[in-house]
Amino acid sequence: MILGKKDQCMRTVKATPHPAPLITHPQQLGALVRAVRTASGLTLEETALSVKVAKQTLQNLETGTGTVSLALAFKVMNGLGIRLTWQAPPDGGRSGGTDAA
């Protein structure tokens, strides 16, 4: 049987584990995006095409490098079915977290 060009280019996607549920850094968000993408068996190229972002943007998001706008990050997450929830700090945020002097 002779494989067509498309068949020859098919890659197996290895699923990566999900990160811890608390996300505090861009790399952790990227790890979550990668884990969901690979669990779905999608390549970078397939995902970028389906959510209509550049492959490099998706790669930057997954590695937590470069600059990816929040709007594009949400576009990718929504396309993969990732939903975020939040939790207010126990003290209502009065103990810091701002750069105000």
CA angle 64, 66, 67 (to 5 degrees): 100
Residue 38 domain-assigned (yes or no): yes
Residue 4 domain-assigned (yes or no): no
Residue 56 domain-assigned (yes or no): yes
CA angle 65, 79, 39 (to 5 degrees): 75
Residue 37 domain-assigned (yes or no): yes
- Number of domains, the chain: 1
Domain, as residue range, for 48: 26-80
Taking alpha carbons only, the member of 39, 84, 76, 82 closest to residue 59 is 76
Residue 5 domain-assigned (yes or no): no
pLDDT tens for each residue of 4-59:
445 445 678 888 777 767 888 899 999 999 999 999 999 999 999 999 999 999 99
What pLDDT is recorded for position 9? 59
